[in-house]
Structure 1
């Protein structure tokens, strides 16, 4: 939710997901020096982080604005790997449960320069603060024969994960109120960020994105002339470094394309919009034995943007 406190001061409050974990797959392979025994590894991850945040935006001059968001991060992440032998031996379960309770801060600067009566350019800069997260990590191993469980090597580790410094820059060209074309660049400085109390598992991640929105007529009587038509694409390298044969290789590169609509909900109510977007994402691994991903994503969003809490000058 965002609203105006003063002609030059706006405020926002929100509750959104910050990150999610969700996977469950199994790999089976033969054991070396054994022709009839295989080992099956099940990899499971679940959970995520949420954030509650508040922010302020201030218009310094007619074309220059600054803003900041401060948020509280919390949540729990669960990771588990199970090893099972085909000959009925004991099952080994390695687990890792992470509880996070920390803060998040981001800042922005935006400048809009009119070119002429129908065109304007907007430049934006953003920065998110990277730091070590306040958290508690429980790691251990269970061995079971299906009936009895024994826990070995369980330990508690504090503050073993972090988030990166993130820098962003973008430019947008707007032609009248009909066409907007944008390009963004984001740099996430993952190198040196803690993961499981290690600092050598990440590399910096860059992302380039472009997009456009076309609105035929802002006040057209025909419904389809007031629909917003959107298209976009992006490319990003991975922040992961994966150990392969005693070497660290780069994780999968990723690109995506999308197409969507912004649908006004009523004939004369143009501020509330239902957004529907379809997206195709492809992740290409850098080595042959990694998973390749092809995902189709459907996104649905509802934006209320109405003139509430305003005093009428004439009753």
Structure 2
């Protein structure tokens, strides 16, 4: 039955994932957009930890070495709903975006190896902002500037993990990233029939390789200690496209009617992504409780080529994050109480995003954008080995200082993890 669900759902949702608008954040204006960490709903509900964590039926998008511990074929997909409140100069604005987070399949290969593959968004661009210029004497609007963006980057990945010693496993993941992004700035002056619009259309392509290791030591009384590390090797995201400046009029339905092209040039460049390393440790009791701590670090992203001409309002810095989280499962095989078989998850996360923005307009006063979040979740068991996983995250990103924007967000996450035994030779009595 699960195999039939898998085929049908993949056909329906794979196209949706590539076409969706998954962000409404003004910070998606910068670079390749609002970036997503590749984590499952279960991981996000524990503050995002995962480099040291493994489980016999749950997928792990952080460390490919965790595939070595898979014992069941698991199909998983996740959905994200983002409720965003934007603050700037005493004003507030709210928005909501709902999107598919991932489609993935993982299965064991023998007793000491496993493989997973899937499709996930990497980043999303989805903003629409208006800045009005007022007359100093009358206070009337003199001009309006519209900032709009759409698109994003997705990835297809394959991940393999193998246990080479009793307590030690290694893994490798390869992915291919692809997408397109459109950014535009339209300026309309009051009582002037023509507006001017600057637009960039970019196509993004690139691949990456991640290496991972995990160590797990079994202790007394069903306790265990584990540690993990991943290294996402440096890679390039190649960008090609065009930039335009043209005049236009607004149609009756609000659409653009282009008039004269004032400027047109091709764009070519790349985002040079440095090595990203993640280190973590954890301690727990099998199918009872777990707590883990994780640290992630990456040097500043470099922007090369003609793309460098468009990023004067922001720059990249070194990024890092700390995550702490875990779960508690009262009694996995309880008969008397359903809620004793529910997995309770929680975690906290602090991140220096690596993005620094100048809100003064002088290109000299940059402010680092930080992100803090607290998360909670439930793993609701279904029949056999499958689960519905619910998660909620409360967080804050950015600041209102230096004419910038502060985002208060609530992320609701939902995933379905379907597990069963495949490739099992059936016995006939």
Report the TM-score when normalising by structure 2: 0.68
Show the counterpart of 2:412: 298
C-alpha distance in structure 1 between counterparts of 2:288 and 2:345, whole Å: 12
Question: Is 1:127 aligned to 2:127, yes or no?
Answer: no
Contact 1:12 1:55 in 2 (8 A): yes
Q: Decide whether aligned partners of structure 1 residues 32 and 71 sit closer, same or farther in structure 2, where only a CA change above 3 A counts.
A: farther
Q: 1:187 aligns with which of 282, 297, 305?
A: 297
Show the counterpart of 1:29: 133
C-alpha distance in structure 1 between counterparts of 2:194 and 2:353, whole Å: 36
Q: 2:341 aligns with which of 220, 226, 241?
A: 226
Contact 1:195 1:201 in 2 (8 A): no
Q: Secondary structure at the match of 2:339?
A: helix
How do residues 190-205 of structure 1 correspond to structure 2 at under 5 angstroms?
Answer: 190-194=300-304, 197-198=307-308, 201-205=315-319
Q: Which runs of 5+ in 2 are unaligned?
A: 1-104, 251-256
C-alpha distance in structure 1 between counterparts of 2:165 and 2:258, whole Å: 69
- Deviation sequence 1:94-152 (CA, Å, 0-9, x none): 11111122212211111112232332111010111232223312112122244552222
- Deviation sequence 1:208-264 (CA, Å, 0-9, x none): 111110000111112111000011111112322223334141232111111110000
C-alpha distance in structure 2 between counterparts of 1:77 and 1:130, whole Å: 22
Select the structure that is richer in strand: 1
Question: Is 1:92 aligned to 2:196, yes or no?
Answer: yes
Q: Decide whether aligned partners of structure 1 residues 47 and 215 sit closer, same or farther in structure 2, where only a CA change above 3 A counts.
A: same
C-alpha distance in structure 2 between counterparts of 1:143 and 1:313, whole Å: 73
Show the counterpart of 1:253: 370
How do residues 1-80 of structure 1 correspond to structure 2 at under 5 angstroms?
Answer: 1-30=105-134, 38-80=142-184
Q: 2:382 aligns with which of 241, 265, 269?
A: 265
C-alpha distance in structure 2 between counterparts of 1:32 and 1:205, whole Å: 41
Q: Displacement, 1:28?
A: 1.2
Q: 2:284 aligns with which of 166, 174, 179?
A: 174
Contact 1:162 1:195 in 2 (8 A): no
How do residues 136-151 of structure 1 correspond to structure 2 at under 5 angstroms?
Answer: 136-146=240-250, 148-151=258-261
Contact 2:123 2:152 in 1 (8 A): yes
Report the count of equivalent residues: 312
Q: Secondary structure at the match of 1:87?
A: coil
Q: Decide whether aligned partners of structure 1 residues 162 and 78 sit closer, same or farther in structure 2, where only a CA change above 3 A counts.
A: farther
C-alpha distance in structure 2 between counterparts of 1:42 and 1:53, whole Å: 36
Q: Which structure: larger Rg?
A: 1
Q: 2:214 aligns with which of 85, 102, 110?
A: 110
Report the TM-score when normalising by structure 1: 0.91
Q: Which runs of 5+ in 1 are unaligned?
A: none
CA RMSD of aligned residues (A): 2.3
C-alpha distance in structure 1 between counterparts of 2:224 and 2:182, whole Å: 48
Contact 2:273 2:302 in 1 (8 A): no
C-alpha distance in structure 2 between counterparts of 1:193 and 1:179, whole Å: 43
Q: Decide whether aligned partners of structure 1 residues 3 and 29 sit closer, same or farther in structure 2, where only a CA change above 3 A counts.
A: same
